[in-house]
A and B are shown apart, each in its own frame.
Chain A
Amino acid sequence: MENLSTDCGNMHSDIYRTLGLKELRKGVFRSPRVLRLLSSLLDKSVQKNEMLLETTQIKDVVTIFHGLRPPTVSIRDYIDRIFKYAACSPSCFVVAHIYMDRFLQQTDIRLTALNVHRLLITSVMIAAKFVDDAFFNNAYYAKVGGVSTEELNRLEMKFLFSIDFRLQVNVNTFGNYCYQLEKETAGGLQIERPIQACRD
């Protein structure tokens, strides 16, 4: 039948499960693997870009997403913090990653330690607003993200117009990003086996 959600769910359901995108019980997700994989991916991307900016003389564009100096909190801790307090679907982090890529492509900005945090809080919040039925407001996300509400509102508007409000993510794109995250595991970083998540 036309029940697309089920069909697509079956097609990708193994990878969804290993990334921790599916509920263990109704509403319960234990720290999903997707968080760790995404932060490792973003970390590498930031390192690569900073090396590039250092070795070449390319000047990075400064936008409202850029801070004066890098925040002290690591990407990993920042992502964990957002997940802990925002309680959004783990899928929101995959979707947010897709939005960040769309933003970076559209604006020709490089992901660096100066902008990654603001891009993260903005894109996860927009993802939650778009895909989840229950979500917190901007003021709450601002507290979680350590920025003022006014600033987050401006970031949100700028982000949305930069990606031309293209928020819909089709199942293939979503699947591809999931596989890309899966590959991150194989990519050398030793990951302790998520034993606790596998035992029912």
Chain B
Amino acid sequence: MEKYEKLEKVGEGTYGKVYKAKDKVTGQIVALKKTRLEMDEEGVPPTALREVSLLQMLSQSLYVVRLLSVEHVDANSTNSNLDDSDPSKRNQTNNKSNLYLVFEYLDTDLKKFIDSHRKGANPRPLPPSLIQSFLFQLCKGVAHCHSHGVLHRDLKPQNLLLDQDKGILKIADLGLGRAFTVPLKSYTHEIVTLWYRAPEVLLGSSHYSTGVDMWSVGCIFAEMSRRQALFPGDSEFQQLLHIFRLLGTPTEEQWPGVTALRDWHVYPKWEPQNLVRVVPSLGPQGVDLLSKMLKYDPAERISAKAAMDHPYFDSLDKSQF
């Protein structure tokens, strides 16, 4: 790690600090994600293990953040000249074992970008052509993940990094990603930040699929247009009510099997609202695409690949991507 000069701490990832750093030789700016391996009991944290292996595979896509290298720094071995006779000291050096993930550096993320358009000196909507471009890149990145058998499961504006100069969006933070190609035990429900969580997950469905990511994409799409979250629930129950109030309480007709899901209760019967009311600036094609991303029945929800062919993107020059 002497190769890099740490410039500043830029954040906390799922499992450790993130630094902006410079390659001393090439001058390349990178993001260093430091994972402390102090917790002997755990070994390599599963989030790090998943993130590295998934990114090794997905990083060829321009729309997934690039993992440059992984380095294990074991202070125990580098400092082997330290006084070994003092066991307490030896334990301290033991604790300094770190795993560094070296990523390309991007200057901001979609959450900060939306925030800068909502508050501050110059609040203004995001240009419609930029929303269109970002959404297309997001769909392209998600399609790439899905075609490699990877569910992201935690798509949200904070996890979408932006290169502002080039107008490029990249998916990051695959710590919760999971391969979905082999038969497994039931999936966890502790996925996806509440606001972007699909109704089937909220209702306790144990075998969900690519639709959970597409629901998140829909919520992010709406948020870019509104500059505020579409469903800002503060508990799982509130989250469902937010969704039901806008899209109507789901019925067996709309979504076969919904009332048999583990956490289904009897809810007030809301009628679906017109989506235009919450995303007035999106235009009819945008609203149509959004409605397909927010279908209740996961089997009916539009796939990332199909979304890329939606007429909403007709006016976009796709050759640049």
Taking a contact as CB atoms under 8 Å apart, the answer to whether A171 and B149 are in contact is: yes
Within the assembled complex, what's the spacing in Å between the Cα atoms of A139 and B42? 7
Taking a contact as CB atoms under 8 Å apart, the answer to whether B184 and A91 are in contact is: yes
Verify if B316 is at the interface (C-beta below 8 Å from A).
no
- Interface segment out of the listed B3-11, B46-54, B132-140, B239-247: B46-54
Interface string of B13-55 (1 = CB under 8 A from A): 0000000000000000000000001001111101001101110
Taking a contact as CB atoms under 8 Å apart, the answer to whether A21 and B146 are in contact is: no
Partner of B50, one of A1, A130, A169: A130
Taking a contact as CB atoms under 8 Å apart, the answer to whether B181 and A169 are in contact is: yes
Taking a contact as CB atoms under 8 Å apart, the answer to whether B182 and A4 are in contact is: no
Residue ID in chain B nearest A153 by CB atoms: B43
Verify if A71 is at the interface (C-beta below 8 Å from B).
no
Verify if B265 is at the interface (C-beta below 8 Å from A).
no
Taking a contact as CB atoms under 8 Å apart, the answer to whether A4 and B210 are in contact is: yes
Verify if A23 is at the interface (C-beta below 8 Å from B).
yes
Taking a contact as CB atoms under 8 Å apart, the answer to whether A5 and B49 are in contact is: no
Taking a contact as CB atoms under 8 Å apart, the answer to whether B179 and A131 are in contact is: yes
Verify if B68 is at the interface (C-beta below 8 Å from A).
no
Interface string of B299-320 (1 = CB under 8 A from A): 1100111100000000000000
Nearest Cβ distance between residue B180 and chain A, in whole angstroms? 5
Task: Sample 14 A-B pairs with CB under 8 A, ordered by A number.
Answer: A1-B300, A2-B210, A2-B303, A3-B209, A27-B185, A131-B179, A132-B184, A132-B185, A139-B41, A149-B41, A160-B52, A167-B50, A168-B148, A171-B181
B interface residue numbers (CB < 8 A to A): 37, 40-44, 46, 49-50, 52-54, 56-57, 70, 72, 146, 148-150, 178-188, 206-207, 209-211, 298-300, 303-306
Task: Enumerate the 10 nearest inter-chain pairs by beta-carbon distance, A residue then B residue, closest first.
Answer: A138-B43, A2-B303, A167-B53, A133-B188, A139-B41, A171-B181, A129-B46, A165-B52, A165-B53, A5-B180
